[in-house]
């Protein structure tokens, strides 16, 4: 009997020889055929890292496995690179920087624009890859691909808007100029929850500015990063400008240390936990690097008595449960005015039960994929148990259903001393807390070391201005639950980070300012 074509395992030759044909390909390629002109999802799976425009193995020959969080099956394996491999990638990026920094903004813009077009053209297939390694539903993955391509489009435009200045001189024979120039080799460490968009948001800005990149993607989601490398090469971005070093958790610290301590790396950008961000910041001190950190959050979601409760419930669904609650800007503490508390809780719980469906992200109708791993499930279980033990009540959900899945959960009677209110959840639980006055709730919202995002609903114009200004967060959503767009700056206050990504401010993180005094005129 002839074996069906979709089940025939093979290793692609020539330029495709490093793509891994596995169970992933059999499943993904048969979900739906690629659109006309788009490549199949299987053509984006690479089992090598990307350095100097080439697909390379770890010098040790070691690899590590990547697992689908929805079913525990191995997708494939990628190189487990170490400090020596990272040093080589840094050397490559440093050499490439010497010529890349001399390119014109117009040249860089054209390449970035084409890179973004390729991402957009292949977004449905790239979404299959993203869902397989991260777990979010396909619709959310397509949304992330649109978001990620948006950063490449944005920074293609911003590359041509990097402008210096001429300062009025106090001395007639002098002219005072300000130049903006690329900072150099930029080290990047990106998270697993947005494995496409967090790369384009960082690397797009750096490349637009004239910098080169050495990037370590999260060990859970390396394939989306490698797919971006393939498209960058196809777009014409020169060898050495974008380099991706993959590593397991075991080697992550030594790879990160190279990026932090190498004198050839002049900029570090990290998105991840506050704990790790602080460690990296300490390590960068030895070379006084410019550092961007996008760290953890503990976002308040406030509903004032003048609010449209139905609109607030809809906003809460997006602010809490997209990506199964695994985003740094997800609402963490729900403060509801006592006069509408019961109404909100009833409508919120009913909407969660009606609208949300757990399952494999590739299955039709799924709105909630798995958490990234068992450790994440255990954290959420512990937070729910702590809350219930201290008097909270479960409105809906409240338990794990096996594997990496946890039910979307609403808790009522939550107080600020419970773990679900004090800690970043990073999962699908919403603890609802009563408040009485505006001053009280603003004080509660700000009573945290985090300051990334905050949300509130109100139809009182004076209150909107007051609260928007008083919240100690870098992002504020007013009558909106999903606020991130490529065009706006993204970053936190307090221990939620340093610097900004996205928007016209994002490219500034990769530029140095130089003052030039011209005398004898």
Would you please indicate which residues are annotated as catalytic (active-site) residues? 294
CA angle 367, 145, 325 (to 5 degrees): 35
Distance CA 340, CA 389 (A): 25
Residues with Cβ within 8 Å of residue 518, at least 6 apart in sequence: 174, 175, 176, 177
State the burial class of residue 3 (Cβ atoms within 10 Å of its Cβ: 0-12, 13-18, 19+). exposed
Distances (CA, A) of 113 to 108, 171, 351: 9, 43, 40
**What count of Cα atoms within 13 Å lies in the side-chain half-sphere of residue 464?**
11
Give 36's contacts (C-beta < 8 A, 6+ positions apart). none
Distance CA 512, CA 176 (A): 17
- CA geometry: angle at 410 spanning 407 and 411, to 5°? 125
- Hey, is 492 helix, strand or coil? coil
Half-sphere exposure (Cβ direction) of 485: Cα atoms closer than 13 Å: 8
- From first CA to last CA, the distance across the chain in angstroms is 87
* Angle, CA of 40, 47 and 404, to the nearest 5°: 80
CA pair distance 346, 331, nearest whole angstrom: 18
Of 175, 190, 121, 192, whose CA–CA distance to 153 is shortest?
A: 121
Residue 18: partners with Cβ closer than 8 Å, 6 or more residues away: 12, 46, 47, 48, 55
Give the CA distances from residue 412 to residues 123, 224, 384, 428, in Å, rounded to whole numbers and listed in that order: 39, 38, 11, 14
- Phi-psi region at 391: left, alpha or beta (left = phi > 0; alpha = psi -120 to 50): left
Handedness of CA 89, 90, 96, 97 (dihedral sign): positive
Q: Are strands 497-498 and 290-294 parallel, antiparallel or unpaired?
A: antiparallel
How many Å apart are CA 474 and CA 483, to the nearest integer?
Answer: 12
């Amino acid at each position: 009997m002839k074996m069906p074509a979709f089940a025939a395992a093979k290793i692609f030759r020539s330029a495709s020889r490093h793509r891994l044909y596995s169970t992933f390909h059999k499943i993904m390629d048969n979900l739906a055929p690629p659109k006309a002109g788009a490549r199949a999802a299987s053509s984006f799976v690479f089992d090598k890292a990307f350095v100097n425009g080439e697909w390379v193995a770890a010098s040790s020959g070691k690899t590590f496995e990547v697992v689908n969080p929805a079913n525990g099956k191995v997708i494939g394996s990628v190189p487990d690179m170490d400090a020596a491999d990272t040093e080589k990638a840094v050397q490559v990026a440093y050499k490439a920087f010497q010529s890349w920094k001399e390119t014109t903004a117009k040249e860089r813009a054209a390449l970035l624009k084409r890179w973004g077009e390729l991402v957009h053209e292949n977004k449905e297939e790239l979404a299959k890859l993203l869902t397989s390694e991260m777990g979010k539903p396909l619709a959310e993955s397509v949304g992330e691909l649109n978001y990620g391509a948006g950063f490449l489009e944005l920074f293609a435009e911003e590359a041509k808007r990097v402008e210096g200045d001429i300062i009025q001189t106090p001395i007639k024979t002098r002219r005072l100029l300000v130049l903006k120039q690329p900072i150099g080799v930029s080290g990047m460490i990106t998270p697993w929850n947005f494995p496409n968009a967090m790369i384009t948001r960082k690397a797009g800005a750096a490349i637009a500015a004239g910098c080169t990149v050495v990037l370590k993607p999260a060990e859970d989601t390396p394939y989306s990063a490698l797919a971006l490398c393939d498209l960058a090469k196809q777009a014409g971005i020169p060898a050495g400008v974008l380099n991706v070093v993959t590593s397991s958790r075991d080697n992550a610290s030594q790879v990160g240390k190279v990026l932090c301590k190498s004198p050839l790396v002049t900029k570090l950008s990290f998105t991840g936990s506050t704990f790790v961000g602080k460690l990296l910041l300490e390590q960068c001190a030895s070379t006084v690097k410019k550092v961007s950190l996008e760290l953890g959050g503990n976002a308040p979601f406030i509903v004032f008595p003048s609010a449209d409760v139905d609109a607030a419930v809809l906003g809460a669904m997006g602010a809490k449960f997209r990506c199964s609650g695994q985003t740094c800007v997800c609402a963490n503490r729900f403060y509801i005015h006592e006069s509408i508390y019961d109404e909100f809780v009833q409508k919120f719980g009913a909407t969660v039960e009606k609208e949300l469906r757990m399952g494999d992200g590739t299955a039709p109708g799924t709105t909630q994929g798995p958490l990234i791993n068992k450790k994440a499930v255990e954290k959420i279980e512990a937070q729910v148990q702590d809350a219930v033990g201290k008097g909270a009540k479960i409105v809906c959900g409240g338990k794990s259903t096996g594997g990496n899945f946890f039910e979307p959960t609403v808790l009522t009677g939550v107080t600020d001393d419970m773990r679900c209110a004090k800690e970043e959840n990073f999962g699908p639980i919403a603890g609802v807390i009563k408040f009485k006055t505006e001053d009280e709730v603003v004080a509660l919202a700000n009573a945290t070391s985090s300051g990334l995002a905050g949300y509130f609903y109100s139809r009182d114009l004076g209150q909107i201005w007051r609260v928007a200004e008083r919240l100690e967060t870098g992002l504020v959503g007013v009558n909106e639950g999903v606020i991130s767009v490529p065009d706006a700056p993204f970053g936190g206050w307090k221990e939620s980070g340093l610097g900004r990504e996205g928007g016209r401010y994002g490219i500034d993180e990769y530029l140095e300012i130089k003052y030039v005094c011209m005398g004898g005129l």
